[in-house]
Structure 1
Amino acid sequence: MPQPFTLLASVLEHLAGLEPAALAQIVALRPDAAREPRPVTLHQLAVRLCEAGPIAELLAGLDSACTQVATAVQQATGRVPAPGYYTHDGGGPLSAVCVVEQAEVQDLLAIAPGDDGHQRHAEVLKQLAERVLVWPVGGGLAVHPGLDELARLRRRRGEPMAQLPPLPLHCPLPDTTPVMPAERLLPEATTALAVTVEQVQALLSHLEGDPLPVVKKSGGGLAVPTIRNLAEHIACPVEQMRLLLHLVVAARLVVAKTTARYDQSEWLHIDTDPCTAWQAASPADKAGQLIGAWARLRALPGGPPAPLYRHRHRHRHRPTARTPTLLSREDLGFEAAPAIRRAVLNTLTLLPPGQAATSTADLAALVRWHRPRWFLPNPPPPGVYSSLDFDDRVDLDLVLDGVLAEAQALGLTVRGALSPLGRVLLSDGQDAVAALAATVLTVTGTVKVQSDHTLVAIGIPAPELSALIDQIADLETVATHTRVWRLSTTRLQRYLAAGDDAETLLEQLRAVAPDGLPQPVEYLITDLGRKRRPVAVTAGTCLRAGR
């Protein structure tokens, strides 16, 4: 039978026997114990580690091997969890700790004597001890009472409480295929990132002149036809437009404001101060802002479909089938979305540089192995969702492709392989991403005008250069360090019809074209300007003679 000990005394005794490096590892893995005011004695640290509040979040971050061993340890205690547990107060449920035998845990995991599972079992127990979920006491294992949350969760999900399946020795690394040489990943990633920055710039320019109406029902948001029309205007796919709208809202460049009209309608407006700072920022700083906004975006690509969120409901026994409107409160209210994106990027770090998983299903299995409590298994378990039995996990198969597409649009991945920008984001944050992008994203204020009516810019065009060229030419090619436009007769006619004459336009082009303008380009603009020559209207006298 397990022997009870005082939880605080057992944790304090365990901490006293550790080296300073091991204590530092515990503090790094348990940031809840090192919160302000920071503990200055082992007793204060032990009291923090005895608290049950952070245990649920800590258990959710364990991989499959740690979760399985922790579940087996909890079963070995023989405790039936109470409906709730409370923070250690000297006499609550967390004031007692149980000690179990390792042989009993190995029997639950079906580890035969002498096989490879013993070594893996010891490695997993060490990882749990670094989080003070279990720790050695004499010849057994002391168990944190917070592990009872695992039994509550399994009972709530209807999972069998019998013997566990064999312990997974290693994570299932997928088969990989080379994408490109590692030295080419950064230029390729910055190209995609530069395109997204330009699309965001075009979206902001459009919203400045033509705000979008916000749906008053369903918690606000934008209607599907509005998104489609906007995507057609910006010339990008609808899913890319969804990402752009999410980014500008997360970066707080646009806001929904109530217009003083009879219907008190809401419109999506430009937020002046952040947008002014955005316009003055360099392309690398803009890229860093967008990546930071994506990292904290509380929405998943495409909006949460019906099987994604499985909430309990008082009157319904199935998940809601309504898809929330884009940018609505429900669409932007999924707090776990940033952690899911980071989990996908962290999984890609396990693959060799410059290589991607051959199958998306294999990559999804790897993500599930590292975060089993976040995602539904494949296939999802059958069951009836009622007010008491519900599942809050995410169906990874519905969101993985979208998350990878978003990461590729922002240059964090290249064809499924993690790029240098993605690795820097995981290790150092968005400021380091902007610094790395600045080494590749060069800004230019000049173009080379060629006789075939094309304009070539080497590097990222400056905002004032893009504002001029986009009015008279169509963007044809976006390469690693090159932008190519072609003069459009339609855009030129529209530009000249707005009031500017051909000679002014030629002077503006000569100012940004150090090599001069070819004769065919000058002839084209001059001929169009002649057709659009303004008609002078002056006052005159009319003489009318009678018969």
Structure 2
Amino acid sequence: MADLPLTPTRARDEDNKALPALVGAPPCNGCVQARHGLLASAAQLPAGQGVRVASDLGPLVAWHRPLADSSPQHGTPFATVVWEAELLGVLARGALSAIGIHLRTGDAEGLDVECRRLLPSATATARIGADLTAVVTGTPSARLASLLDSVAERETSGTASVWRFSPGSIRRALDAGRVPEDITADLAAIAAGPLPQPLSYLIADTARRHGRVRLAPAACVLHGDEPALLAELAAHRRLAKLGLRQLAPTVLISRSSLDTTLAALRAEGYAPVPETAEGTVRIEKIRPRRAAAPVPAPRGSRARIGGRTTATTE
């Protein structure tokens, strides 16, 4: 952060257009010098003391880094650099914090330890109650959040996050290929205690009803009274392009349209009958064929008679 050659908190350019975070931001020639000057200025303060207002450190930066960009920002020299330092915890109460001290000395290990001390570790367990809720105090771990998001609905986030189990959330997990035994085992692994009985009943009841009705894609349906004939159609090699699938001894479905399936069956010597959407036989009307009328010769056409070409008129 101290050696970043731009101002990451800058949100707009000179034309007041929004800038993407860390991408496309114009380089800042004096940013690095200004940050190091700020660290040097704050390090000169007496131990245990700090300035009354952090912005008072701005005028001292130019003393330590004369080549830094000292143009006033928000009315105060180096106001943006000071504000970024406070935002990241480098400055606290007008003086260098522990993070700032490690940053100035380049102690990467000490900086890592201090940041981990300030940031609480992620929570890997949840309190699952009989009201079908899971409560996580603090920041949930990635594994915990992913598991609860897959089987429950997140209601609140913050100091404590709450998820609620429901038939719809359990069904969503089953639709994604999870099995009830795995769901129960995964929840038991992250629960702070035994799983409540209502949750176990919810998982078992939802799994029992899941998949009792199945839907299959089909463009048309073939049915008849002879199971042997339907089995013959399903096994016919030349009809394989139709994508026939047998659902019952007397029911087939086809991935091809009704007209395409009808034409293919007739081409193979079968005599199927199409039906309407209401289940009645569709009557196919055949238009009568008419004899083609002779086309009369146009006026002024030329006819060849006895080797000569003559013009004919009416």
User: What TM-score comes out, normalization by structure 2 length?
Assistant: 0.49
Structure with more of its chain in helix, by fraction: 1
Instruction: Report the structure number with the largest CA radius of gyration.
Output: 2
Bigger RCO (CA 8 Å, 6+ sep): 1
User: What TM-score comes out, normalization by structure 1 length?
Assistant: 0.31
